[in-house]
Amino acid sequence: MSLPTVAASCDLLRDGRPLIDVRAPVEFAAGALPGAVNLPLMDDEERHQVGLQYKQVGPESAVHLGHQLVSGGIKKARIRAWVEYVEQHPDAILYCFRGGMRSQLSQQWLKEAGVERPRIAGGWKAMRHQVCQMIDERVEQAPMLLIGGLTGCAKTELIHALDNGVDLEGCARHKGSAFGRHPFPAPSQIDFEHRLGADMLQLAPDAPSVMEDESRFIGSVNIPLTAWRAMEQAPLIRVEMPLDWRLVQIQKDYIEGLWAIYSSHYGDFLGWALMQRQLRQALLRLRKRLGSARLARLVRMQEIAFSEHKRGNASAHEAWLAPLLSEYYDPMYRYQLEKHERTFLHVGDWDNSLAFAREWSATHRWQR
């Protein structure tokens, strides 16, 4: 039976093509293609049994076992899931790890059910190669500008205000500090890289990229080495805003944004408990750097703020956020500046820095 294929290409991601990942859930969790839905041919236990059979007996026996495990009602349910997805997304494409037996078998069963869809030639592995190659090409050849500044200068918002901004923290699902953890699990390293690639694909073909000046590690993931080396050489601008302005921004990021996520997903009672736990743990993680006396003072102020917040006074958090900025984050940032002797193309307030980044971007188009 002849089954159609499409070439592995970043265009599939750029165009937002619906993708059906027929690998097992454990494989999907380790790293999938952006926007893909996991509708597996085999679940984790079935895949495990087939893998053991392959190693101990051989490929033919493994295939036979796979057909035994995925048969009858199980097979019908999985075909039904694929058909229903394709009915909602008629241009969907299937893939497995290498574009081999699993995606071909899924295609065959779909075709027998009256639905014909292509699979990606080379599968996930070929697509990952394309994405990683594209990232390397862009960061090595396209102009890049970095945005730096003290904590609370709304650098991420500045990135989002640019047509050519790439939000590394958004890709990592982490704000890059002890208080930057997202309520939901961080992506795998592979998913972080794929999300970064997908965001780069949305830039105009000749656009330079503008990113926040980050350390290589953002939460539990790290910036790919080629991209990191390019960032080390990229020109840098610095946003400078007064403490009062930054406190308002920190309040939005660390308190209001966090509470909105927790309350919407867990309800007010459990969400409140989880938010408090995260903020307490974040502060305690700074024990060595803050010192016992300063930590104890900030912990007390944080507890008072929680009580006030519960009464409706969320601005009470400024009492511990202000010293956290002025006594910890600001000195740490200035120390890093002195240590690495960074030079800046531009230093200005938020609006001025945004205007500069736009002007720089307009005059640094990428000539391929």
Task: Say which CATH number the domain at 11 has.
Answer: 3.40.250.10
Residues 103 and 153 in one domain: no
Task: Please give the residue range of the domain that contains residue 280.
Answer: 142-362
Sign, CA dihedral 258-279-288-334, equals positive
Active-site choice (10, 96, 132, 153): 96
Assess whether 123 and 146 both reside in one domain: no
Tell me: do 173 and 110 sit in the same domain. no
| 220, 174 Cβ separation under 8 angstroms | yes
Geometric angle at alpha carbon 184, from 181 and 188, rounded to 5°:
85
Residue that terminates a domain, selected from 75, 95, 129 = 129
Co-location of 156 and 105 in the same domain: no
Q: Is residue 136 part of a domain?
A: no
Query: Is 366's pLDDT higher than 70?
Result: yes
Give the pLDDT confidence score for residue 179 in this predicted structure: 81
User: Measured between alpha carbons, how far is 232 from 215 in angstroms, rounded to an integer?
Assistant: 10
pLDDT tens, position by position, 248-260: 999 998 899 899 9
Domain end call among 98, 129, 160: 129
Say if 134 falls within a structural domain: no
Query: Could you tell me if 118 and 147 lie in one domain?
Result: no
Q: Is the pLDDT of residue 8 over 70?
A: yes
Which tokens in the block code for residue 165?
């901004």
Q: Classify residue 119: in a domain, yes or no.
A: yes
| pLDDT 10s digits, 207-254 | 999 999 998 999 889 999 999 999 999 999 999 999 999 999 999 988
Assign 338 a pLDDT band (cuts: 50, 70, 90): confident
pLDDT at 1: 59
- State pLDDT tens for residues 146-189: 999 999 999 999 999 999 999 999 999 988 777 878 888 889 99
136: CB partners within 8 A, 6+ apart? 224, 226, 227
> Does residue 297 sit in the same domain as residue 178?
yes
Do residues 37 and 21 lie in contact, with contact meaning Cβ atoms separated by under 8 Å? yes
Residue 172, token pair as written in the block: 């990592």
Measured distance CA(366)–CA(245) in Å, rounded: 35
Instruction: Note whether 207 and 326 are same-domain residues.
Output: yes
In a domain, 137, yes or no: no
Residue 147 and residue 99 in one domain: no
Domain boundary among 71, 104, 129: 129
Total domains, the chain: 2
Q: What is the dihedral of CA 38, 42, 46, 50, to 10 degrees?
A: -120
Sign of CA dihedral 303, 306, 310, 312: positive
Catalytic site residue 96?
A: yes
Could you tell me if residue 276 is inside a domain?
yes
Do residues 124 and 50 touch, judged by C-beta distance below 8 A?
no
Helix, strand, coil percentages in the chain from 3-state DSSP, rounded to 5: 60, 10, 30
Mean pLDDT score, 323-340: 87
